[in-house]
Chains A and B, each alone.
Chain A
Amino acid sequence: MTAGARAPATGATVLRAGVQSTVQDAGRQVRSLGVPAGGAADAPARRLANALVGNAPGAAGLEVTLGGPSLLFHEAALISLCGAPFDAALDGAPFPLWRAVPVQAGQTLAVAGTAAGLRAFLAVRGGLNAHEVFGSRATDLRAGFGGMQGRALRPGDHLTWATAPPHGARRAFIAPEIRTPLGPHHDLRVIGTRDLTGNLPAELLNRPFTVSAQADRMGARLHEAVAAPRDPARPSVPNVPGMLQLPPDGRPILLLPDAGTHGGYPTPLVVITADLPRLGQLRPGDTLTLRQVTRDAAHAAYQAQERALRQAEWVLRQ
C-alpha cells in the first residue's frame, strides 16, 4: 500500500458498480403518501439469500442487474448470491450461487453477467447499513432516497454491514423448484379486472409478447401494441403489485416494485402473487404469455410457494 493511503478497515469498497446495483430489502408500506413500495424485485431470491447467511428475511442487501459489481472486502464476511445465474468469481475462483460463502479480508468478489434472467440478490451476514426511510433501506431511484444516497452504486462507494454473531456456512441444497423461474420464455398467470372488456381478452391473453428494452424497476414494457381503450377523464386510482397497465400507445407495462402508487390508465390484468417474482427476472428480449387463472388457483399457487419457501428458510436457519 502506498504511504499515506489508508484503506478502510471495515466493509467493502465498490471497484466496479455494475449496470445497476442498488441496496434493497423488503420495501416500505407508505403508498398512502405517494411513496412506491420498492424492495428487491425477486423476493424469494432476497429471502433465500438472507436465510443462507442467517439474516432476517427483510435484511438489506444488494440487488444486482444484468451485469454485477466488483467488491473489495476489507473485513471477513459471510455472503450469498441468489437469483439469476450470474458468473461470479472470488479472487478469480468460481463463486457458487445459492450458497453461503465465507470471504476473507482482502478478497475481491467480481460479479459479471448472466445468460438468463436479469437480477440477483447479494446478502451479507448482518445486513447492509444504509439510509432508512419510512422503515426501509430500499433505494428509491426515482425520488432519490434510501439505500446508498438514493442512487445506484458507484465506483469508490464504501459498503458496511451490521456485526452479527458468527453463522456457519452451511452446505444446504436449495431445490431448483423454489428458485424463481427464468426466461427466455415466461408463462405468467393473471386475473382479469373490470377493465378486461371488449377485445382486450383476445388481444392480451394466450398470445406471445416480447419484453422490450424499456424494462426497469418501475415496470417492464412489452414490445407488441394492442388496441387500447382511451379515456382521458379516467380518475387516478391505486396501483397494485403486478398490474398490467395499458397506456394510450397500447404497449402494455407490467408494474414492478418502483411503480408509481397511482395511475390513470386502464389496468385490465393483474399478475398473481405467486408469479410476481418472475417479473423481476424479465429480461429484454424474453417472451411471455399471459394466462388467466381463477382467484382460487392463484391462492393455491401462493400457498404452495410460500410453504416451500418457509420450509427452506427454516432449514437454512437451523
Chain B
Amino acid sequence: MSGTYLGMPAFPAAAASSTQDTRLRANLRYATHTIRDKRARAVAELDDWARLRAAGAAVKDRTLRHLDHYLEQLEEAVTAAGGQVHWAADAAEANAIVARLVRETGEREVVKVKSMATQETGLNRALAEAGISAYETDLAELIVQLGDDLPSHILVPAIHRNRGEIRDIFRERMGRWGRPAPEGLSDAPNELAEAARLHLREKFLNAKVGISGANFMVAETGTLVVVESEGNGRMCLTLPETLISVVGIEKVVPTWQDLEIFLQLLPRSSTAERMNPYTSMWTGTADGDGPRTFHLVLLDNGRTDTLADTVGRQALRCIRCSACLNVCPVYERAGGHAYGSAYPGPIGAILTPQLRGTASELDASLPYASSLCGACYEVCPVAIDIPEVLVHLRERVVQGGKVTRRGVKTVLKPAKGHAAERAAMRAAGFAFGHPGVLRAGQRLAGRTRRLHPRRLPGPGRAWSDTRDLPPVPAESFRDWWRRTRGEERGK
C-alpha cells in the first residue's frame, strides 16, 4: 500500500524533476491560484481579521508556554467524560498503541478520517504490518490511497491529480478494495464523487472501529473538534463502536471560548469558506449516541524538541490550514512531494526539520526550500513568522549548535555540504578586515575577468545552475574612486 517518504532525495533534486512535470505544474497553478483568490475574499469579509489573528497567536503562545499544565488538564477532563488517554513519545509508540487497541476489539478493518498526525507516523503501513486494513475515507485521501500515491497538499491531498487521472484510478483500483467503480464512469466530478460515495458507504456502515485526528482539543472541557466538508468525518466519528483519535500535543487550546477564534480563522484560511460544511465536537462518550469507547492518543514525536527551540517553537502554533502552501511560489512550482514529508510547503519547510531533526540530507535541505518572499507569513492565520524560522534553521544547518533531540540536549555539528560556504564566508570576513588584501584580490579579479568561467566548479555549481554569475568590472569602485576623486583632492 501507500508509498513512503524514506530515501527521498534532497529538496533541490526532487524539485528539479517535479518542476519538469508540466501537467503537475498546470494542476498546481490552477488550484493554488483559485484557493488563494477565494481566501483573500473570505478574509476581507471580517474587518477584525488582524485582531482575530493576534488573538489566535496569543492563545497558542499561552498554550505552548504552559503545555504541561494544559495537557494534564485535558487528560483529566477527557477521562472524566469517559475517554481513555494514552501518551506516545514517538511515531512507533503511537502506531503500536493504535494497533493494540484495534486488535483488542477483535476487528481487522478500520475506517479513517483524514489526519495529518497519522500520515506523519505512517500509521496505515504499521497497521498493515499488524494485519489490519485501514481505509481512508476523505475523497482525496481515497484517490491517493487507491493510486498507491502520496498526498501532496495538507488540505487537498490529491491536488496534483486531474479528473482524468482520478477516473482511471477509480476504474482500475476500486474493485480491489471493495465495491468497484460503476460501469462507464466518466471524469465528471459529480460522477466521481458518487462512485466514492457508493464505494465508501459499504465501509462506513460496517465499520466497528474509526480512527481520526483532531483540529482542536479543549483542555477545560475535554472536547475534541474535527472540521471537515464531506461527512466522511461524521461517519467515522459517530458510527463505529470504538473511536481512536491520534492527536499532536500542540493541538490543545485552553478554553471552550477559545474555539470562537479558531472556528473563524481556520475555515476562511483553508477552504476560503465562511464555515466548512461539517464540524463535529465530542466530549468523551455520550450515552446511546456515537462510539461507546473513546481513546485519545497524545503524540509527541518531535514536538517537545520543537518546543525547546525558542525561535522555532512558533511552528507549533500551526492549525494546518494550508494557506501558506497556496501562496508559496516555490510550492506552486515544485509540488508537495518534493518536500518529502506529510507537511509540504512553507510550514513543512520549518516543521519537518524540527520534528525529524536535520540529520538527513533531505531534512537539512528543507530550510532552503524557500525564496524568503514572506507571503506565507502574511497569510498565516496564527502569524507564524515562517521566514524568521527558515533563516534560523539555515543557520543551524550551516553553523550547527545546541538542539534537543528526543528530549536530550545535544550539540549539532555543522552540515558537511556547507563546508565550502563556511570557508568562503571566513575568507570574505578576513578580506573585509584587511583592506590591502581586499584591494589586491579585486585587482586580480578584474585583470583575469576574461578567463572567468560562466558557471562555478565544485560546490558552487548548484548555485550557478540557476543563476548567471555577475560580471566582474574591469576596475573596482575603490580604484575608480581613487583614480577620479582622489586626484581631485590632491590638487
Determine if chain A interacts with chain B.
no
